[in-house]
Amino acid sequence: MKTKILFFMILGILGHAQINRFFYEYKFIPDSNNKEDVKKEMMLLDIDKNGSNYYSHDKFVADSISRAELENQIKAGGGNISVNRREKPGQVSYKVTKQYPDFKTYLFRSISMDKYKIKEDKKPEWKILPEKQKIGEYNTQKAITTLGGRDWIAWFSTEIPFQDGPYIFYGLPGLIVKLEDSTGSHSMMLVGNKTVKPKDSEQELQLPDNVKVLGLGGKELEVTKEQFKKAWKAYVNDPSKNMRELMMKSGGELGTKVAFKVRTSDGKEISDPSQVFREMEKRTKEMLQKDNNPIEPDLVN
């Protein structure tokens, strides 16, 4: 079975016409004060001749459906545009791209309504150890590194001919099959793979000037890690700043009135702007308190 899988992967490399898709089960503990609450997300690592993309399967599906719905509504020319909330929007919102052959790495993350493209300025410095282990059907070897504020343990296999891996990790003599930080808070395990045909080139969704949809459309702002940390700190100190600025623009350059509505925990709907912003700030601070164990602490601390 292993020989057959490797044969198809090598065909994908040689033919340049297929994408090698690897499925990783990502387990993580968002709240260091509640280690019993372990979240799971299926992550995809797509590899072709130009590089790789690492992203959440659920978020990809949810975004694709929302984008299709929005495109249909724009084409229909209706006065009201709405994007329904997906049942499985995905718990992991970031994605990572690597460009071959130099492995130029970018992390894509959002803060409120702003999207960022963060250049990774450090390469993983691996120490390969002699320990070996059979993981699933693969023979693997151990390696360790420190990156992003965590110590990491990786198990890689030279039986899979890619020097890549999940998240921002790469540079070992084979694909990373398992990756875990020293605290056990974050772990990624290869659980399957297949080859898929690349889709036709997709043009980015062009939104009308008077339509703003959180999470869809728009360009990423390319920044350094230090610039992102500064933006993150500003967001933590004032979570509703972007929303207030958007409301102030209403009637101005947006040419329309912007309205915000939220529901409190007891189901009460709030539409008064000052109350909405207070509720948003409260929710954000509560969320941050429970999401205090990020995969890359150095990026937000």
pLDDT at 242 over 60: yes
Burial (CB < 10 A; 0-12, 13-18, 19+), residue 267, is exposed
User: For the whole model, what pTM was predicted?
Assistant: 0.78
Q: What is the CA radius of gyration of the chain?
A: 21
Q: What is the pLDDT of residue 16?
A: 54
CB 67 within 8 A of CB 109: no
Domains along the chain with CATH numbers: 2-224 (2.50.20)
The whole-number average pLDDT for the span 170-180 is 98
Q: What is the pLDDT of residue 6?
A: 44
The whole-number average pLDDT for the span 267-288 is 73
User: What confidence category does residue 180 fall into, taking pLDDT thresholds of 50, 70 and 90?
Assistant: very high
Q: In Å, what is the CA distance from 229 to each residue of 116, 153, 226, 297, 301?
A: 11, 26, 5, 11, 7
The whole-number average pLDDT for the span 72-86 is 56
Burial (CB < 10 A; 0-12, 13-18, 19+), residue 56, is buried
pLDDT tens track for 245-261: 666 665 444 445 555 55
pLDDT tens track for 212-231: 554 455 578 999 999 999 99
The whole-number average pLDDT for the span 70-92 is 60
Q: What is the pLDDT of residue 204?
A: 47
pLDDT tens track for 9-33: 444 444 456 899 999 999 999 999 9
* More confidently predicted of 1 and 241: 241
d(CA 67, CA 87): 15
* 47: nearest Cα among 96, 118, 112: 96
Helices 241-249, 273-290: crossing angle, 10 deg rounding: 150
Report the chain's mean pLDDT, rounded to a whole number. Answer: 81
User: To which residue do tokens 């933590």 refer?
Assistant: 236
The whole-number average pLDDT for the span 261-273 is 64
d(CA 2, CA 160): 10
For residue 154, how far is the Cα from the chain centroid? 20
Answer whether the bond into residue 101 is a cis peptide, omega within 30°: yes
The whole-number average pLDDT for the span 191-201 is 80
For the chain, how far is it from start to end, CA to CA, in angstroms? 45
What does DSSP assign to residue 79?
Answer: S
CB neighbours of residue 221 within 10 Å: 13
